[in-house]
Amino acid sequence: MTTTDTPADQPDHPNQPDQPDQPDQANQADHPDQVAALVPAATVVLLRDGTNGLETLMMRRNSKLSFVGGMWVFPGGRVDDADYPPNNPSDVYTASLNAAVREAAEEANLTIPPEHLVPYAHWTPPLDYPKRFATWFFLAPAPPGDVTVDGGEIHEHAWWAPKETLALHAAGEIEMLAPTYITLMELAQQPDTKTALASARNRADNIPHYATHTAHAADHPVALWQQDAGYDSYDADAVGPRHRLAMKPGGWRFEQT
């Protein structure tokens, strides 16, 4: 069993990764009758080597924004119509690559060559989210140049080691979403950029696809993923295997058996 606590254009491989299946919407327990449509999106996790090892670029969204306002995120956003290749307007994966490159330029003033992007994971949010972005996460080495934010959508940025970011979150000093947390938790195990990118490439044929279900324990929400005993029933108290993130006050807890 793995348990982790925190205290109070072209992909980089010859073939495109498998596209995620649509999540099962038959079980609407604890969810509204009307489910928001999924919108393609992309996120790029920029990596560099700092004095104490691997660092990621984190950005704080404007607190006045209706979607995840005030939270610390990686650069990213929805796929625009112009991101789709003209010769294949249904190619969501290539459009996501293009969107990741564009968002890095718009939000951080950094130019990322598309061939440097390494697919890392795909995330589908819970059925009850009012806005649902089906998001490809990519890793990429940070290019030369200074980060510049626009002061509109993005208000701050920082280069932090993943463990440092997680510690700030556990202390209640910053907010983040579950996909950000899981990504940082995994990257905290990598010593440097080269190793992190190599590890991502090694799982190119088995990229995780997270279709999140949410349940509620006594005093906190729980994110559930496939293989968790409570996944299909939305039951945080179900007995059996675990693949979940308990978002407890004072420190989130990841469990996988």
Domains in the chain (CATH in brackets) are: 24-211 (3.90.79.10)
Q: What is the mean pLDDT of residues 135-141?
A: 98
Q: Is the pTM of this model over 0.85?
A: yes
CA nearest neighbour of 134 among 43, 238, 246: 43
Q: What was the pLDDT predicted at 15?
A: 53
The string over 120-134, giving b where at least 16 C-beta atoms fall within 10 Å of a residue's C-beta and e elsewhere, is bbbbbbbbebeebbb
Q: What is the pLDDT of residues 68-122, one digit of tens each?
A: 678 899 999 999 999 999 999 999 999 999 999 999 999 999 999 999 999 999 9
Pairwise CA distance, residues 170 & 166, whole Å = 6
Pairwise CA distance, residues 112 & 105, whole Å = 8
Q: What is the pLDDT of residues 29-51, one digit of tens each?
A: 444 568 999 999 999 999 999 99
CB 124 within 8 A of CB 35: no
How distant, in Å, are the alpha carbons of 52, 110, 114, 197, 203 from that of 141?
17, 11, 11, 8, 17
pLDDT band at 153 (very low <50, low <70, confident <90, very high): confident
pLDDT band at 8 (very low <50, low <70, confident <90, very high): very low
H helices then E strands: how many in the chain? 4, 13
CA nearest neighbour of 135 among 10, 43, 61: 43
Q: What was the pLDDT predicted at 230?
A: 97
